[in-house]
Amino acid sequence: MESAEVARRFLTFFEERGHQVVPSASLVAEDPTLLLVNAGMVPFKPYFLGQRTPPSQRMTSAQKCVRTPDIEEVGKTTRHATFFQMLGNFSIGDYFKEQAIPFAWELLTRPREDGGFGFPEEKLWVTVFDDDDEAQSIWHEKVGVPLDRIQRRGMEDNFWSMGVPGPCGPCSEIYYDRGPAYGREGGPVADEDRYLEVWNLVFMQFERGPGDSKTDFPILGDLPAKNIDTGMGLERMAAILQGVDNIYETDTLWRVLDRAAGLTGARYGRDRRADVSLRVIADHVRSGTMMVADGIRPGNEGRGYVLRRILRRSIRNLRLLGGQDAGLMHELTDVAIKAMGEQYPELVRTAANIHTVIDAEEDSFLQTLRTGTAIFDTAVEEARRSGGRTLAGDQAFKLHDTYGFPIDLTLEMASEQGLQVDEEGFRRLMREQRERAKKDARDKRTGNLDVSVLDELLTGAGGEVDFIGYGHLRGDARLVGLLVGGANAPAAGEGTEVEVVLDRTPFYAEGGGQLADHGVIRLGNGAVVEVTDVQAPLPGLIVHRGRVLSGEAQAGDSAHAEVDVERRRAISRSHTATHMVHAGFRRALGESAAQAGSENSPGRFRFDFTASGAVPAGVLRDVEDEVNEVLVGDLDVRAFHTSIDEARAMGALALFGEKYGDEVRVVEVGDYSRELCGGTHVARSGQLGLIKVLGESSIGAGVRRVEALVGIDAFRFLARESVLVAQLAEQLKARKEELPERISGVVTRLRDAEKELEKLRSQQVLAIAGSLADTAKDVGGIAFVGHRAPDGTGADDLRKLAVDVRGRLVARPAVVMVTGVPKDRPVVVVAVTEGARERGLKAGALVGVAAKALGGGGGGKDDLAQGGGANPAAIGEALDAVERAVGAA
């Protein structure tokens, strides 16, 4: 039974029993406490907490999930994986244990020909929480499971939460006995390799607080209603139903693994190291494909870091297996898209975009491997020179953070060199960096607020704040939440920084690339709050941040909210312009030019999109011309709501990676642009006035950024450009149309003059080589030359001079030191003859002596080395220090 069929049977079973089938949510979690969706119930958390009204009290889904805490174990075992799919059925205050338990048993044991999974009843065992007599009674008396196949377990095994504050409850797990060949008898408590968990029924009835472990957290109280949250791992179920030993041999993962083996010449099952690499590749390629499809881009923090690490581990393991060619990831990504495409058709629709991102990351990392290897060699040389046997943690971290070198690759290469790596130091620095990144991302959305406080605010707003900002820029409301310093407060006086929640608001919260509205909130008692930021830290919750300008803000007071109209209009112009530029680039570059981010600010916007390389200047001009011609046509801009299927049928563009519900908002600019969008826009395209594209640049592997001006800002820019062009024409005595050719001629002549000056300067420096050799002094039997070149002498010339002087002293033991200040920092070069090296003098060591005096560092070979520092005033001291070192040899 293929994986897609397992999912289909599960969803059909529960749909027939009154459950609404809910599409998988994006891997990008709405919950601010999570980077990625890590459990099937995560999208349902607001319903369990009573913060949002569910579309149905009975729901079922096949949810995409990613977990990475054990990423280092992926491949080493056949159990660990980063991406998995969780099948689940959910009851929001409808049925509880007495129906959830029989549902699960019926689906598992019903014959396959009748739509079930066909498990023999005698092969199934169950566990219940220690004190859950009710669950045991249902299993035994209602379902008929013998008591000797029902086992009780504690908090560690049979009490479930997401690991963060939120819903939780006792659970009952169902296990499948794979037989004596897989382990000893005695049920799940005796051997979980033989008895494999296939389904977890969570009786979600409590709310937990923060805690550091699976068992150490407070229970804050009961949820608004008793709920059911179940989870069946699709991959594990597929392994059992397909008769294979583990998830890596199931249909979807095996297709990627088998293709990786074919591309590299490896044979799965023959060599443990090769098997580990093949499993890493199979899991990570599939994970990376799914993450990119949900709009995540490789980066150095947060979700982007997780994706980059996953993709680069795949590439590295391909190389370990002998796959040295570029383009291997493209083939494997294509296999993953086809393997998962039946369950997730959006993979096929966005295949070009997925390939663009992953191909670019592969190209980038192959270059990184070349650069990082050179930096690694230098670090090894430094470690050996200092007599150490360990590569410092900060060096390993720099290799990783600056050059993208994976720590496991650093460990392996260090081992080959007979060195160890300070792993604890590296991991400490990594933890600090990740915590900073997570805190920064979380603070942006939550304003440092505790999640429990956000939950209270959402409850106080009646479950969801009513946004009226599409049709109104001002409106009456009630202040239902007031925070000072992150804590609930009854009142706040003049000058106090506050966070305010209204039951309804015209203020647009930052999102979808659109910056937040500004404005004021006037309270019924005469107090005024200035709003400088608006965020939506939880779905349905809008938080206004600002300062009390006058009076005293009081919770519960009536309010009148007023948006800064001019700012809103300027931002709306930018947002509509972004849609038009997006449409223009797709027409010019094809569908692979998918939006990868944007920022719409007053009078200015930036637009990020996937592309394999730089956009030619001619394309930029053509797109700019096209969108300006369209906006002059004064097309009608309209927004309307419809179903996601109808929106796609009419050609509305769903942005790559965005999350959409069953009902979506479509924004049209005539027939030119049609996108799904929740932002604010102008009424007609002519209101934009003018769009001026400033240029484009790379902001990461496979992603380009275009920046542009719109409206009066664009006109002002062109006016300044016109004045500048007139001034240049006056200075060069040329007509405006002649300026490019005239300026090119001036620049060419200037460069030729600079080259000639550099040549003369070099000749002058080298001309004194002979006289310098003649001035060599005897220092303990060594001919020593110490010379400070004139300031401005380039580092290359200093090196040439040192080598030239050494060549004139080659018959003697000699040391030549040349120093100077090319710009604002001193440089020192030391050249040593063979005779001096035989006396124990090495250029690298002598440069170190000089660099120390100069407040810097350096290194090189025994015959020639270079260094530098930060203190030009210490050049005399550096010359003396090297001379003393020569004399002491």
Which amino acid is it at 774? D
Q: Are 483 and 593 part of one and the same domain?
A: no
Q: Any idea what the CATH number is for the domain that residue 215 is in?
A: 3.30.930.10
Averaged pLDDT score across all residues of the chain: 88
Instruction: Round to whole Å and give the CA distance between 662 and 649.
Output: 14
Measured from the Cβ of residue 887, the count of other Cβ atoms closer than 10 Å reads 13
Instruction: Round to whole Å and give the CA distance between 243 and 63.
Output: 24
Exposed/middle/buried for 331, CB within 10 Å: 0-12, 13-18, 19+?
middle
Q: Are 544 and 499 part of one and the same domain?
A: yes
| The two three-digit tokens of residue 697, written as one number | 């640049």
Quick one: which H or E segment has residue 610? strand 604-610
pLDDT digits (tens, 9 = 90+) for 628-637: 999 989 999 9
CA neighbor of 442 nearest in space, from 28, 30, 29, 33:
33
Asked which of 307, 339, 367 is the last residue of a domain, the reply is 367
CA neighbor of 500 nearest in space, from 554, 422, 421, 448:
554
Q: Structurally, how many domains does the chain consist of? A: 5
pLDDT digits (tens, 9 = 90+) for 363-395: 888 877 777 777 788 778 777 777 778 888 888
**Sorting pLDDT into bands at 50, 70 and 90, what band is 876?**
very high
**Sorting pLDDT into bands at 50, 70 and 90, what band is 888?**
confident
pLDDT digits (tens, 9 = 90+) for 703-738: 889 999 999 999 998 888 888 888 888 888 888 888
Q: Any idea what the CATH number is for the domain that residue 527 is in?
A: 2.40.30.130
What is the per-residue pLDDT for 445? Answer: 47
**Binding residue numbers:** 575, 579, 677, 681
Q: Are 682 and 688 in contact (CB under 8 A)?
A: yes
Rounded mean pLDDT of 791-799? Answer: 85
Structural domain contains residue 814: yes
Residues near 575 by beta carbon (within 8 Å), at least 6 away in sequence: 513, 514, 600, 605, 677, 679, 680, 681
Radius of gyration of the chain measured on its C-alpha atoms: 34
Q: Which residues pair with 177 in a beta bridge?
A: 195
First-to-final CA distance of the chain: 79
Distances in Å between the Cα of 686 and the Cα atoms of 64, 472, 669 are: 43, 22, 11
Structural domain contains residue 380: no
732 HSE (CA, 13 A, CB side): 20
Which residue bears the tokens 């209270």? Answer: 456
What is the per-residue pLDDT for 369? Answer: 76
Instruction: Round to whole Å and give the CA distance between 50 and 47.
Output: 5
Structural domain contains residue 425: no
pTM (2 d.p.)? 0.65
Structural domain contains residue 430: no
CA neighbor of 542 nearest in space, from 475, 600, 603, 460:
460
Q: What are the counts of helices (DSSP H) followed by strands (DSSP E) for the chain? A: 26, 35
Q: Are 195 and 260 part of one and the same domain?
A: no
Quick one: which H or E segment has residue 424? helix 423-446
- Whether 448 has a pLDDT exceeding 60, the answer reads no
DSSP designation for 271: -
Rounded mean pLDDT of 802-824? Answer: 91
Which residue bears the tokens 């509880």? Answer: 96
- Whether 586 has a pLDDT exceeding 50, the answer reads yes
Q: Are 336 and 349 part of one and the same domain?
A: yes
| The two three-digit tokens of residue 640, written as one number | 């309307």
CA neighbor of 578 nearest in space, from 552, 608, 535:
608
Q: DSSP letters along 540-593, please?
A: TEEEEEEEEEES-EETT-EEEEEE-HHHHHHHHHHHHHHHHHHHHHHHHH-TT-
Instruction: Round to whole Å and give the CA distance between 551 and 228.
Output: 48
What is the per-residue pLDDT for 170? Answer: 94
- Whether 458 has a pLDDT exceeding 50, the answer reads yes
Q: Are 706 and 696 in contact (CB under 8 A)?
A: yes
Max distance between CA atoms of the chain, in angstroms, equals 107
Distances in Å between the Cα of 418 and the Cα atoms of 197, 373, 424, 481, 888 are: 43, 16, 19, 62, 33
233 against 396, higher pLDDT? 233
Q: Are 337 and 218 part of one and the same domain?
A: no
Q: Is the dihedral of CA 443, 449, 451, 454 positive or negative?
A: negative
SS3 of 832, please?
Answer: strand
Q: Are 117 and 91 in contact (CB under 8 A)?
A: no
Structural domain contains residue 363: yes
What beta strand segments (E) does 118-233 contain? 124-129, 150-153, 159-161, 166-177, 195-208, 219-233
Q: Are 474 and 606 part of one and the same domain?
A: no
Q: How many degrees, rounded to 5, is the angle at CA 320 between CA 314 and CA 321? A: 95
- Whether 526 has a pLDDT exceeding 90, the answer reads yes
| The two three-digit tokens of residue 451, written as one number | 């999640």
| The two three-digit tokens of residue 275, written as one number | 């098997």
**Binding residue numbers for Zn(2+):** 575, 579, 677, 681
Instruction: Round to whole Å and give the CA distance between 864 and 837.
Output: 11
Phi, psi of 422, deg, nearest 5: -75, 80
What is the per-residue pLDDT for 855? Answer: 86
Structural domain contains residue 195: yes
SS3 of 694, please?
Answer: strand
Q: Are 10 and 38 in contact (CB under 8 A)?
A: no
CA neighbor of 312 nearest in space, from 350, 241, 363:
363
pLDDT digits (tens, 9 = 90+) for 12-41: 999 999 999 999 999 988 777 788 998 888
Which amino acid is it at 491? A
Q: Indicate the pairing of strand 124-129 with strand 150-153.
A: parallel
Q: Are 542 and 473 part of one and the same domain?
A: yes
What is the per-residue pLDDT for 461? Answer: 67
871 HSE (CA, 13 A, CB side): 14
Q: Are 637 and 681 in contact (CB under 8 A)?
A: yes
SS3 of 642, please?
Answer: strand
**Sorting pLDDT into bands at 50, 70 and 90, what band is 245?**
confident
Residues near 370 by beta carbon (within 8 Å), at least 6 away in sequence: none
Q: Which of 104-118, 753-767, 780-794 has the highest mean pLDDT?
A: 104-118
Q: What percent of the chain has pLDDT over 90?
A: 53
SS3 of 352, please?
Answer: helix
Range of the domain at 511: 451-563
Q: Are 537 and 551 in contact (CB under 8 A)?
A: no
| The two three-digit tokens of residue 456, written as one number | 């209270």
Asked which of 696, 718, 740 is the last residue of a domain, the reply is 718
597 against 874, higher pLDDT? 874
What is the per-residue pLDDT for 352? Answer: 86
Instruction: Round to whole Å and give the CA distance between 681 and 415.
Output: 59
Q: Any idea what the CATH number is for the domain that residue 658 is in?
A: 3.30.980.10
Q: DSSP letters along 109-128, please?
A: HS-GGGTS----GGGEEEEE
Q: Are 91 and 216 part of one and the same domain?
A: yes
Instruction: Round to whole Å and give the CA distance between 610 and 350.
Output: 11
Q: Are 7 and 343 in contact (CB under 8 A)?
A: yes
Q: Are 194 and 184 in contact (CB under 8 A)?
A: yes
| The two three-digit tokens of residue 835, written as one number | 């005779």
Exposed/middle/buried for 579, CB within 10 Å: 0-12, 13-18, 19+?
buried
Q: Are 615 and 537 part of one and the same domain?
A: no
Q: Are 186 and 324 part of one and the same domain?
A: no
Q: Are 101 and 168 part of one and the same domain?
A: yes
For the stretch 117-134, what's the b/e string if a residue is b when 16 or more beta carbons lie within 10 angstroms of its beta carbon? bebeeebbbbbbbeebeb
Structural domain contains residue 335: yes
Q: Are 617 and 703 part of one and the same domain?
A: yes
Q: What percent of the chain has pLDDT over 70?
A: 96
Instruction: Round to whole Å and give the CA distance between 553 and 359.
Output: 54
Instruction: Round to whole Å and give the CA distance between 461 and 509.
Output: 16
What is the per-residue pLDDT for 734? Answer: 83
What is the per-residue pLDDT for 656? Answer: 53
Structural domain contains residue 374: no
Asked which of 312, 336, 367 is the last residue of a domain, the reply is 367
Q: Indicate the pairing of strand 673-676 with strand 691-700.
A: unpaired
Residues near 835 by beta carbon (within 8 Å), at least 6 away in sequence: 811, 812, 813, 814
- Whether 44 has a pLDDT exceeding 80, the answer reads yes
Distances in Å between the Cα of 886 and the Cα atoms of 351, 545, 770 are: 66, 67, 22
Q: Are 728 and 738 in contact (CB under 8 A)?
A: no
